[in-house]
Amino acid sequence: MSFENLGLIEPLLKAVHEAGYSTPTPIQAQAIPAVLGGGDLLAGAQTGTGKTAGFTLPLLHKLMTSQTGQAPGGKRHVRALILTPTRELAAQVEESVRVYSKYLPIRSAVMFGGVGMNPQIEALRRGLDVLVATPGRLLDHHQQGTLDLSHVEYFVLDEADRMLDMGFIHDIRRVLSILPPKKQSLLFSATFSDEIKALAERLLNSPKVIEVARRNATAETIAQKVHPVDRDRKRELLTHLIKTNDWHQVLVFTRMKHGANRLVEYLLKQDVTAMAIHGNKSQSARTRALAEFKSGELQVLVATDIAARGIDIDQLPHVVNFELPNVPEDYVHRIGRTGRAGAEGEAISLVCVDEEGFLADIEKLIKRQIPRESVPGFEADPHAKAEPIVLGRRVLHGAPGSRSGGQSAGRPGSGGGNRGPHGGQHGGGGSRHANSNTNKPAQGQQQDLRAPRRAEAANSGGPVSSPPPRRVRG
Ligand code: AMP
């Protein structure tokens, strides 16, 4: 199978070859003909499968070849709308649109919150063919009357499961209500929970369903280890490991960006060179951090899951989970960064009592037990009590035997109608384990979410001093 076989127009083939792709990935081989053929699509695919090109290439093809009511030389209208849960992903997707439309007269733009609206309004005024946006900012533009969505012919909901996890269900519904009823809609999701199925039913018309294999297996060449440790000694243990083993090029993961910043501050005080890479960093700061890390100047790069997705670093000798991800699939993504060609990579997780439930979910997903190995002098207190993990306004119970994560402290709708309460993804009652393969627990990557103060507390690894959260369900 080649891209030529898929019937894409020449300028797209040229851009794809320049991007260095020779063969379509499985999701592309299925999604491209499905989208070209017309009709709606429900696609199960995770990041890293090539899903972005899977929807972008056929959309660009259709934008170039299908009829439009637009007068030649007249104002461009948004004909394709791609909605993503986070700013990082929106920026990445729009970058892909640019790469693939390099040889086409297509204009695209990305719009997300946290930055000024005026340049976005100006871009809309000049006219666009493809808009990539996060839901909150899209609705802000709509409310202000700066965005006309009445010409949308193609609509993509990317990482729909993550959108629900992040509480965007009301925003999605609002967006759907302002889009023209006649359009081709594509829904991409890593999981097919009941909520996703309900959303698909609402959004899609007799969709074609495709699903590519999940990437749950972890490479045999990666040596995985868990170091049980008390939550307030993780930073010390990490420094100890780096220094005693003389580690270089260590990629360290935290759940939230504030945790990443605090860890970097600590490491610098211990004379370990470190930088954080996450959504709040400017592009130049990220580029510099990455260059220094790759050259070996920088010993440690601390990243959040979403930030790490957008960066081209893999084949590292060491990946450390300073905090376990609450989404088991993210563990597989994280440790997939290690394992040099031929050589063994090492993935180490520093796990405190609060995270034992997360660990159990991960082991269930990868179908193996990760060996525990206490580091002398850092043994975990066997009597330590688990505490809830606070992520933004959400409180997760990561302790063993606890009920499904994703308890929400309730999120009132914020100004501009950006974010409603949690979408009710996690049907309470069921155990975390029963949920882990189909219903992801609440996401930790809340790059776009507000209320960082408590998230920071969670990330410091220190106890959370806030009062016990109101349990919404479970
Ligand atoms: P995605 O799942 O869309 O985030 O894509 C993951 C990565 O795979 C991106 O870095 C793409 O540039 C890359 N990619 C996408 N399609 C192909 C392909 N057919 N061959 C090689 N790499 C690809």
One-character DSSP codes across 327-376: SHHHHHHHHTTB--SSS-EEEEEEE-GGGHHHHHHHHHHHTSPPPB-PPT
**Residue 48 Cβ contacting ligand 1 at under 6 Å:** yes
**Residue 460 Cβ contacting ligand 1 at under 6 Å:** no
CA torsion angle for 300, 302, 305, 307 (degrees, to 10)?
Answer: -100
pLDDT of residue 295: 84
* Best probe residue, ligand 1, of 23, 25, 47, 306 (max atoms within 8 Å of C-beta): 25
3-state helix, strand and coil shares in percent for the chain, rounded to the nearest 5: 40, 15, 45
pLDDT of residue 396: 78
Shortest-distance Cα residue to atom 6 of ligand 1: 48
Kindly give the distance from the C-alpha atom of residue 335 to the centroid of ligand 1, in angstroms, as a whole number. Answer: 18
Indicate which atom in ligand 1 lies nearest the CA of residue 309: 4
**Residue 50 Cβ contacting ligand 1 at under 6 Å:** yes
Indicate which atom in ligand 1 lies nearest the CA of residue 52: 3
Indicate which atom in ligand 1 lies nearest the CA of residue 96: 12
| Residue written as token pair 């894409």 | 8
Shortest-distance Cα residue to atom 11 of ligand 1: 50
Kindly give the distance from the C-alpha atom of residue 30 to the centroid of ligand 1, in angstroms, as a whole number. Answer: 15
| Residue 132: its H or E element | strand 130-133
**Residue 336 Cβ contacting ligand 1 at under 6 Å:** no
**Residue 25 Cβ contacting ligand 1 at under 6 Å:** yes
Question: What gap in Å lies between CA 329 and CA 218, rounded to an integer?
Answer: 10
Q: Other CB atoms closer than 10 Å to residue 365's CB: what's the count? A: 20
Q: Which residues of the chain have pLDDT under 70?
A: 67-73, 213-221, 279, 283, 309-315, 339-344, 392-393, 400-474
* Best probe residue, ligand 1, of 3, 21, 305 (max atoms within 8 Å of C-beta): 21
**Residue 47 Cβ contacting ligand 1 at under 6 Å:** yes
In order, the DSSP letters of 247-279 are: --SEEEE-SSHHHHHHHHHHHHHTT--EEEEST
| Residue 154: its H or E element | strand 154-157
- Among candidate residues 302, 306, 383, 299, the one with its CA nearest the CA of residue 350: 302
Kindly give the distance from the C-alpha atom of residue 342 to the centroid of ligand 1, in angstroms, as a whole number. Answer: 23
pLDDT of residue 402: 55
Kindly give the distance from the C-alpha atom of residue 410 to the centroid of ligand 1, in angstroms, as a whole number. Answer: 37
Kindly give the distance from the C-alpha atom of residue 215 to the centroid of ligand 1, in angstroms, as a whole number. Answer: 14
| Residue written as token pair 């493809």 | 130
Shortest-distance Cα residue to atom 14 of ligand 1: 50
Q: Which domains are assigned to the chain?
A: 3-211 (3.40.50.300), 222-457 (3.40.50.300)
Q: Which one-letter amino acid corresponds to residue 58?
A: P
Burial class (CB in 10 A: 0-12, 13-18, 19+), 191: buried
pLDDT of residue 370: 92
CA torsion angle for 167, 171, 177, 180 (degrees, to 10)?
Answer: -110
Shortest-distance Cα residue to atom 12 of ligand 1: 50
pLDDT of residue 72: 61
Is the Cβ–Cβ distance between 132 and 84 less than 8 Å?
yes
Question: What gap in Å lies between CA 126 and CA 119, rounded to an integer?
Answer: 11
**Residue 24 Cβ contacting ligand 1 at under 6 Å:** yes
Shortest-distance Cα residue to atom 5 of ligand 1: 50
Kindly give the distance from the C-alpha atom of residue 28 to the centroid of ligand 1, in angstroms, as a whole number. Answer: 10
Question: What gap in Å lies between CA 393 and CA 402, rounded to an integer?
Answer: 19
Question: What gap in Å lies between CA 437 and CA 226, rounded to an integer?
Answer: 22
The tens digit of pLDDT for each residue in 139-153 reads 999 999 999 999 999
